[in-house]
Structure 1
């Protein structure tokens, strides 16, 4: 009888804890998803603006590619300081500052009239957005234990693909229907109307977000205690991890993760910044139609991200999920570069798998470094991986822009992207797998 009572009490406590985490999820994740959707819309709407502004401003593909990519240089230079500042002033103020800043810069993009101004504003957009993504990843680790994070990360990061679901039709509609209204081109209205909501939500999060569990007045005192105890349990289970920033910088694992992420972002940025161009060259000319095609492809990518996160939580094998997704994306980019690229249906289907593979790898990727670093090392480590890895976001659009300017085609660039993606999968399988297995063995011995 006592065993039954104990089992009932344990089950009841687990149900209460599950309910608490659901409450935390619905309080924090939706608003963060909205911000990430807006961040990606404001980041990649230039890929739709390209379809009008290049002709109006007489920009070459190389100019566009450099401008699209220089965003990530600003990101690189300001991301680590931004994430360390989050440690000092908290997520609420940091995320609000970032959102307001990038929203204003997005609106100013409507006034880009020369390559120099285009480059400057894209650089500033990256500088202002720097720190948002790693900051959110760090923030979520303060509210969810390791065994719940992959699903949460997957749902949050599905916003990347969701931004395409929303942003594609929205961009097509704005650029088609407002072109010439009040003397502004469609691409100018695109930047103005998509930057303004970000500024408003930036002010909203100042009142809405909560920095830590102890300050969560929207939880009961019992829920706060249960949540704190469970997070402390998880931290203890993970054992001693790297806390020191200096030692983390000397840890080769950090730089292996950075290399893998760099290659993944090359695929990711190619899909984001050249997607509308790929769809147009597949045989679609109407901007609104291109927007809807990108929307459907992005919905597929969003489903892949959520599925990968759920499966990684269920199987506790994020490395396998990540590597598998990268292989799918890499092979799809290689197929896009082949002669069958001229087939419109095959191009759309293959590009859908390329985007899903590239995007689907990201949420499960972030489960791995979070198992190895904590504290200041985690804050800076996540920022280093993200900022240096995001240099792939500079290389991909700029490199494809140069190739397209020189050859008139992106096929060679797509082949290169696919091969680099497969190399990332090899790194995961041969290198990352070894030290992740070592960490799992250490945790098992402690348990």
Structure 2
């Protein structure tokens, strides 16, 4: 049998080694580039955590003001998430992801003009509007290239961009703030925003030139390779709601709202960690922004390794629920112990466990809703789940900041994060295995 049999409806399946070679080709063509995009996206989203080390003091921001400003990003994100993803579904990822990255790069660079709490809130809100649709758009994009049983590994590798952005971005942010502080009359945090915005604009242009919307448009695939992917995606979408009216159906689907609750719980832990990591490390006695950046990179390095291992194992076993429950509970334990740790090594060890837990939950989670959503329904459903879940990005830093101002300690906030991870684990346990293990 030849690989051309893959092009004939009803023909025997192509050889397994040809299928694996095809997906390996697609993986190496797309996933590293998408990772680069997300490293830049996440850095521009959370570098405000490092800016806080100088900006709060220079501009007179309280912990509550900082927490509210960090979180208001997700209000803009929430408002434009579903429309953005529906537009992406209609015009294609190549155009829309490029637009998103260029826009948020310009706004992120403009943060150097922030001079008050009000301007801080406005700029964070606008940044959320600009970036809305990027992450769920990429998740939607993977459904056009990889069937469900291959996506956990793909999404896990893609989302390892989060810890990678911490591994390299935290020391970079600290170094920029120390090295450029005072240059040409600008503070270190202003230089950080300006310099770290440039890659978003450049890579945004590269997205338009590099990405293909779907396999049928990819000149770097043979006809037989395209047929393999199109066959698998068609089979994967069998039984899913792909009807034109499915956007309205998504909003009435209790499964979508239950998935939103689970994701809200996990994102609470994720942004509690990423926004407050520099502050937590500094509280253990570490001095100097660059040193804080180096040490806070350790938990992200550990998380990157765990994410890839568990994502690969979840695909191999075709099991989703326990691969989510375990990391969520480990993350809760990590937060609880790290909150009371009295030494830097102990705090970093358990922050590493917390990071591995909460950051592993996100990529594994997305194998759940994409198991029953397709087409326009997937565009709206993924965006709705992501937007509701990411409201935790508003709630989490604001609540932790308010609790820190109220109690003078971060312990209560860390306990709250642990509690939300337990809630997420319980909800995953209540999700029927037959609905998500594909």
**TM-score (norm: length of structure 1):** 0.93
The partner residue of 1:228 within 224, 227, 230 is: 230
User: In 2, distance between residues paired with 1:438 and 1:187?
Assistant: 47
CA distance in 1, matches of 2:240, 2:226: 25
1:171-320 equivalent positions in 2, closer than 5 A: 171-236=173-238, 239-241=239-241, 243=243, 244-320=246-322
Counterpart check, 1:437 vs 2:434 = yes
Instruction: Find the aligned partners of 2:435 and 2:100 in 1 and give their Cα distance.
Output: 37
Aligned alpha-carbon RMSD (Å) = 1.8
Gaps (5+ residues) in structure 2?
2-10
Query: Equivalent residue for 1:146?
Result: 148
**Taking structure 1 as reference, are residues 97 and 438 closer, same or farther at Cα in structure 2, changes over 3 Å only?**
closer
Q: Does 1:104 align with 2:87?
A: no
1:114 paired residue number = 116
**Separation (CA, whole Å) in 1 of partners of 2:24 and 2:317:** 21
Write the distance in 1 (CA, Å) between the matches of 2:362 and 2:380: 18
CA distance in structure 1 between the partners assigned to 2:99 and 2:223 by the alignment: 30
Q: Matched residues in 1 for 2:169 and 2:189: separation?
A: 13
Q: Any conservation in 1 of the 2:143–2:233 contact (CA below 8 Å)?
A: no
TM-superposed deviation, 1:188: 0.6
**More deviation, 115-124/216-225:** 216-225
Superposition TM-score, scaled by structure 2 size: 0.94
Counterpart Cα distance in 2 of 1:439 and 1:223? 27
Q: Give the equivalent residue in structure 2 for 1:377.
A: 377
Decide whether aligned partners of structure 1 residues 115 and 438 sit closer, same or farther in structure 2, where only a CA change above 3 A counts: closer
Contact 1:168 1:292 in 2 (8 A): yes
SS at match of 1:310: helix
Gaps of 5+ in 1: 3-8
- Matches of residues 267-416 of structure 1 in structure 2 within 5 Å? 267-338=269-340, 341-416=341-416
Match of 1:6 in 2: none
Task: Point out the structure with the larger helix share.
Answer: 1
Structure 1 residue 375, shift from structure 2 partner? 1.3
Please tell me whether the aligned partners of residues 336 and 415 of structure 1 are also in contact (alpha carbons under 8 angstroms). no
Match of 1:5 in 2: none
Residues of 2 paired with 1:242 and 1:337: CA distance?
46
Paired residue secondary structure (2:23): helix
Provide the rounded CA distance (Å) in 2 between the counterparts of 1:26 and 1:83: 25
Counterparts of 2:12 and 2:274, CA distance in 1: 47
Q: Does 1:417 align with 2:414?
A: no
Report the secondary structure of 1:179's partner residue.
coil
**How many angstroms does 1:227 deviate by?**
2.2
**What secondary structure is seen at the aligned counterpart in 2 of 1:142?**
coil
CA distance in 2: counterparts of 1:350 and 1:367, whole angstroms: 27
CA apart distance, 1:14? 1.5
CA contact (8 A) 1:242 1:248 kept: no
Tell whether the 8 Å contact from 2:372 to 2:435 is kept in structure 1 after alignment. Answer: no
Q: What secondary structure is seen at the aligned counterpart in 1 of 2:376?
A: helix
Residues matched between the structures, number: 428
